[in-house]
Structures are given as structure tokens and as C-alpha cells.
Structure 1
Amino acid sequence: MDYYISFYEMKDIVIPDTKYDDIVVKVAYDKNGKVIGIGAVVAYPSGECVIAPMYCDNMHVARAIFTDILREMPLEKLWRFHIRSHNKHDESFEWIKPFIRPQFERKHLAKLLYSLHEIQYVDIKRIYAFMPITNYPL
């Protein structure tokens, strides 16, 4: 799936690190066995969590993956979740809304800033939370 989003395989970075207890990775498949989503949450000892990455074919897959991840994590030890979204398509920010209170709206300024730096070769509509290497414990 990574080649549809970017020009390299993120699974080579994400999947080997699943041996650690503080990382939960989920992969979603369609009925034909095709990968339609991958999501990961890194939990730090402080209780801070980072959702990175969340690449999915649509918003419903992203929500299903995150729901499964939450079921597997010890929520009593967690403090907050950190997510970085591209804001280049509406669903990239809207998918997380059912999981939070109070509800929020995307800021127009953020959308303007991101639209100034368009990346042509990335399929933005599949990225629900991107994975900056600086956030990932390698």
C-alpha cells in the first residue's frame, strides 16, 4: 500500500518495531486480501501517545483501525493522543472527531499554510495521520 501513497515502503520502518510493547500496529484488509489501511500508535512512558502513521483508503477504515488499537491499549495509563494531519482533504481531520470531546473544527489558517506547499507525488486522500521520522522511536 505504501507505494500508492509514497515512493517507498513505510512497512520496512513500522513493522519491525512492533516487537516493543509500547507500539500497536493494525493492518486492515478488504475481502480479497488487499491492504486497505495501516495504522500505528506509539505510547511513551509519560502517557503521551502519537498516532503515526494512519494510511487508509477512506475515513471508515481509519476509524475502525483506531478503534481496534484503543481496545488493545491500556487506556488507564495514557494521558493524551498527538496527531499530525495534512489538512489537505476534509477527511484527514474529520476521521478522529467521534473519539474526542469537545468537538473541534479545523482552522482555516492551517489549511491555507498547508496548501502553499503542495506535494505532487503523494496521494493525500489516503493519509489520515502522517509519520514524521522525528516522532518515531527508531
Structure 2
Amino acid sequence: MLTIARRFSGSSICRKQITVGSNNIQVIKNIQDREYEAIWKTIGSTRSDLKKDDIKKFKEAWGNDYHQTLTFLKDSDRLIASNSHVVFRPLKDSKGLENLVFRGNLWISPDVRGSEIMDITDKQSYDVGFSVGNNSMAYATKKTMDQYKNLTGSMDHLHKYYVSNYDFGDLCIPKDLDTSGIVVKNARDVPDTDILKYDAKVFKYERSKYVLGQIREDFGRVAYNEKGDVIGIGAISVYPSGECAITPMYADDIRIARTILKNILEEMTLDAEKYWRLQIRSHDQHTGSYGWIRPFLSTMTHRSEVCTLMCDHKEKGMDFSKVYSTFHADNCPI
């Protein structure tokens, strides 16, 4: 009963189908409390992996480089589309990299019919620099693949993005895991630079406020070797629905990733009444990204393909070899 209640905690309201155009919409880019509330009531409350204040935190983390555009039905509070982008700027010591324009979450109300809404959201993306030859990147589903091809001019992709969900009742903490030579510390107790320097090995663009906020908000860890070098960072975010997501898990090797997760789960405890399920966001760039979780499961591993990371260029600013679970695809490509 608890799982069912959580899974369907959001409500959806069936409304009359509408056709939109430039004459019956209002586009808002300067998001205030009214708009944040509309996002939560319309989109956020139906998602199991979002907190009410997350959108505000994303804006605070990236400032003017975070672009959230909302489309309302004119003269109403009816939200019909939400379109977000992040402009990632290369770190100071990253040579040869340009600004990266990442299209994050695109939501269109199922009440809207016709192709006009796609033209409207495409223009919003062009306005923030998401276009052919402008170092653009986005996640695309099978349904939106052609649209992204038109926007970026390319069908190139870096990786496929998968999601696995495991009920907490199917998790276990392995007793015979080899954790020798690995020291794990709470992310709140270590210097900022320890976290950020390791993140920079994976993603060579500025996102320091976002990373520190995510790693330290709920259950975050930093792993060191016996010499004191950082060899991994990881975190589990806990949502009001009871869903828990590994966001992210970066490590030099699979043994370190497992040691970090073991340390976190020992603090959380495997309380199936308190926590619903554990979500892992894997990719297809190395096999460890999928199978590393096996020692923690009393069931079979599984995953579902969600989307594909597409780009208009060959990206050199990311290292997938250390990525066992990514940040959320709404905000980051890795």
C-alpha cells in the first residue's frame, strides 16, 4: 500500500484539448514565486524525484546561466510548457573548450495539440543559444529525436541514458565487500576543493555551487586513498515521495564506488517504510556503470533506456570512465 501511494501520489487533471499560437500564450522568463508555484503544482507534484524548492536552487546555483522559460495560456495561471537550459562555461584551466549550451528538461502539457507549441519552444531554445554549430547538447527520447536533429543539425550521440529502480526491500548491505585502503568521509566534513577538483576530472565546466549543494544536501561522501588523494565522490538524494537517487557516483574504479555506497546505506539503514526505492542513472560507456550495484541486490539487475545524449560536436570535456551514476538529466549531461 505504501509503494502504491507513493508511486501515484501526484494527480493529473484532464482538461479540454487546446491549440496554441503566438496570439493566445504568455511567455515568462523572469520566474517569480507565482511561477515557481505553478511549476510545482503542474509538474513537480507529479514527479517522485523532485523537491519543491529544487528549481529555485538550480537558479541560485547557476545564476544568469540558468534559463527557465515558462509558457502560459494567455490571461490565466494555466502552465502549458516549461523549457530549461544551462550555459556551462569551461573551467579556467580547461584549454580548447567553448561554452556548452545544454537543453535540460522540456515539458509540454498533454492537453496541448498541434505542432505550434514545438515551434514556440524551439524559438525559446534558439534565444539562449541552443542551435546548430553553437556547441549544443541535449537528451532526446525516441519521440523527440527528429526535433533535436533539426535544432542541432546532428544525430551524433555520446551515450545512452538508463534508469534502474530497486525497492528498498530488495536491497542488502554486503558484509564481505573489500574496502581495504579506502577512507570514506562525510561530504560536509571535507574542503570544497576536494569535491570540486574531483568533479573537474569528470566534467571540465563550472558547476561548483550545484555540485556542492547536491553532494552535501542529504547523504554525500568523499573517498580517499591512504595517501590522502581523492578517489571518488558520491551522494544519495532523498525525495518526499520516498524515492532515493544516486546523484552522482563518480569513482576511480568499481570497488571505490561500492565502498561509497556501502558507507551511505549503513547510515541510512535499509528502512523500507521510510524509503521507497533506489534509483541509479547509468550509461553505455563502460559496463561497470550498470553492473556495479549487484552486491547490494537480492534481486536481478535491470534497467530501462530513457534517452540519448545528443550533440552537434565531438565533446572533449567529459570523462565517462569514472561515472557509475550521473547527475539528473534535467540539469547536467553527466
Q: Bin the TM-score by the shorter chain.
A: 0.7 to 0.9
Q: Is 1:130 equivalent to 2:326 in the alignment?
A: yes
1:51–1:83 CA contact under 8 A, matched in 2: yes
Q: Measure, in 2, the Cα distance between the counterparts of 1:75 and 1:11.
A: 31
**Match of 2:298?**
101
Q: Which runs of 5+ in 2 are unaligned?
A: 1-197
User: Once the two structures are superposed, what CA deviation does each residue of 1:65-94 show, in whole Å capped at 9, x if it has no partner?
Assistant: 000000111432111011111121011111
Q: Measure, in 2, the Cα distance between the counterparts of 1:47 and 1:19.
A: 18
Alignment length (residue pairs) = 130
Structure (1 or 2) with the greater strand fraction: 2
Alignment of 1:53-132 (within 5 A): 53-76=248-271, 77-104=274-301, 110=305, 119-132=315-328
Aligned mates of 1:94, 1:45 — CA distance in 2: 28
TM-score (normalizing by structure 1): 0.78
The one-letter code sitting in structure 1 at the alignment partner of 2:327 is M
Of the candidates 243, 247, 250, which is equivalent to residue 48 of structure 1? 243
Shift of 1:121: 3.1
What residue identity is the alignment partner of 1:68? N
Q: CA deviation at 1:64?
A: 0.3
| Equivalent residues of 1:86, 1:114 under 8 A apart | no
Decide which structure has greater helix share: 1
Q: Which has the higher contact order (CA 8 A, sep 6+)?
A: 1
2:222 partner amino acid: V
Bigger CA radius of gyration? 2
Deviation at 1:132, TM superposition (A): 2.0
Q: Which runs of 5+ in 1 are unaligned?
A: none
RMSD, matched Cα: 2.8
1:88 match: secondary structure: coil
Q: 1:61 to 1:19 in 2, by over 3 A?
A: closer
Q: 1:94 to 1:9 in 2, by over 3 A?
A: farther
Counterpart for residue 27 of structure 1: 222
C-alpha distance in structure 2 between counterparts of 1:96 and 1:10, whole Å:
27
TM-score, normalising length from structure 2?
0.35
Instruction: Give the Cα–Cα distance (whole angstroms) in 2 for the partners of residues 88 and 17 of structure 1.
Output: 24
Shift of 1:135: 7.4
Gap change, CA 1:115 and 1:45, over 3 Å in 2: closer
CA distance in 2, matches of 1:8, 1:96: 28
